Chains A and B, each alone.
Chain A
């Protein structure tokens, strides 16, 4: 039984390692910042997730204690990864104003919030739900 568990734990850790490696390969291979953002926001979540699942299984199956810290780590990762990616993308757009020409239209009368200010509250409802960041 312990042997099966050990194989399972090792498999999870190796799998996590592979995904983390692929995320890093993406950083080297992909041409610009915006495509590079895809690597770390995805491949790394499963990379870390695999290692954390392995850790939980180790403590539960072999040490016999329930360890919940790993769940917290993945929750925090899921909360922070999209926000940092969003801000990196916005900062990139600020830095490279030429990119503005490539952006698709918003389909609204106002532009993207990185370039256009929040509209004056002509009708209250719009301003209320306008982005706050």
Chain B
């Protein structure tokens, strides 16, 4: 816990609603979990939505720097589509490609993203999409280690990841 002087510097809203978006998400999540609407459920959801961000705000002091919410939605649609394609692609590799003909390799993706939230989203996206799993981050957090199931050309694979996902994330998390 920070000392008193620092706490007092935060405004009323920052103290009680450190992550407004997280609050909204938690309430929506609670209502979806209930699977039916009731006033009591909404009160409980609101309570959780206020208490959980306050309790966890020490672990996550900054607000996520999302700027373009419309782009975030279209990014999710793109990733959902890529996940379907990835499934078919990996299924084809597993079923029809002899193991010794797979071009298994490591690649290093140099990161232009700086915020931890953006890097987390990028790493998660890479893991969920075609034949790639993000395995490690460099100690200074500036490059990502990615394991490819089948990448004949390492540079091409890196270029694709950077163009398809990182450039879009750079617009969402400026």
Contacts and interface: CB of A to CB of B under 8 A. Distances in A.
| Chains A and B are bound partners | yes
Interface of A: 19, 22-23, 25-26, 29-31, 34-35, 37-39, 41-43, 45-46, 67-69, 71-72, 78-79, 81-83, 85-86, 89-90, 93, 102-114, 116-119, 126, 129-132
Nearest to B127: A82
Interface in B137-169: 137-143, 145, 147, 149
Contacts, number: 150
Nearest to A112: B136
Interface stretch (B28-36, B39-47, B66-74): B28-36
Q: Please classify how large the interface on chain B is, using the bins under 10, 10 to 19, 20 to 34, 35 or more.
A: 35 or more
15 contacts: A22-B94, A38-B147, A39-B90, A43-B90, A68-B32, A79-B124, A82-B125, A82-B134, A89-B136, A104-B108, A106-B143, A112-B136, A112-B139, A131-B137, A131-B141
Contacts of A111: 138-139
Given A45-B87, A71-B32, A108-B142, A86 B115 contact: no
Interface of B: 29, 32-33, 35, 83-84, 86-87, 90-91, 94-95, 99, 102, 104, 106-108, 110, 114-116, 123-125, 127-128, 131, 133-143, 145, 147, 149
Contacts of B123: 82, 86
Given A35-B149, A39-B90, A86-B135, A108 B84 contact: no
Main secondary structure of the interface of A (DSSP, over half): helix
